[in-house]
């Protein structure tokens, strides 16, 4: 009986010691590769040396969106159809010059014309109201 208090304290300390959690570190493997892929798909390469312009569309709306990209002559140079709510396109590269972006859904079309130069990114965001919220091209 005189050792019961000491034994109980020892059991409690051992139990707490065994329940300590350590932070998980990503190592090389499928989980780390998936994290790197997501990070690379979300942000373009910001160090730029004469790279082609890029564009993507993020759909935070409630309906599917289509994106078509045309050059100055009217040739379709890139497209992504049926971008679902909560999804986004990959970065699409294209040649420098006047570029037309056609963003459409079953209810409306939006045409944006930009003079795209090297090292420019155009990140278009469709908001929860299915309207284009962001349409500014950025030079890096």
Q: Can you give the pLDDT at residue 50?
A: 84
Does residue 42 fall inside a structural domain?
A: no
Does residue 91 fall inside a structural domain?
A: yes
Does residue 62 fall inside a structural domain?
A: yes
Q: Can you give the pLDDT at residue 121?
A: 95
Does residue 48 contact residue 119 with C-beta atoms inside 8 Å? yes
Does residue 80 fall inside a structural domain?
A: yes
Does residue 36 fall inside a structural domain?
A: no
Does residue 34 fall inside a structural domain?
A: no
Residues ≥6 apart with Cβ < 8 Å to 102 = 66, 67, 68, 69, 70, 109, 110, 111
Q: Can you give the pLDDT at residue 103?
A: 96
Q: Can you give the pLDDT at residue 83?
A: 97
Does residue 81 fall inside a structural domain?
A: yes
Low-confidence ranges of the chain (pLDDT < 50): 16-17, 19-27, 30-36, 38-42, 44-45
Q: Can you give the pLDDT at residue 92?
A: 96
CATH number of the domain that residue 67 is part of: 2.60.40.1120
Q: How many domains does the chain have?
A: 1
Does residue 77 fall inside a structural domain?
A: yes
**Residue range of the domain that includes 98:** 50-139
């Amino acid at each position: 009986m005189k050792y019961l208090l000491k034994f109980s304290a020892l059991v409690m300390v051992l139990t707490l010691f065994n329940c300590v959690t350590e932070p998980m570190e990503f190592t090389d493997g499928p989980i780390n590769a998936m994290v790197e892929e997501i990070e690379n798909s979300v942000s373009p390469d910001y160090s730029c040396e004469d790279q082609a312009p890029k564009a993507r569309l993020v759909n935070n709306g409630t309906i599917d969106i289509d994106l078509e990209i045309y050059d100055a002559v009217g040739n379709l140079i890139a497209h992504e159809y049926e971008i679902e709510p909560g999804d986004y396109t990959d970065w699409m590269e294209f040649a420098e010059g006047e570029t037309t972006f056609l963003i459409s859904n079953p209810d409306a079309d939006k045409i944006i014309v930009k003079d795209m130069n090297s090292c420019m990114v155009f990140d278009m965001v469709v908001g929860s109201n299915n309207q284009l919220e962001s349409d500014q091209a950025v030079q890096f």
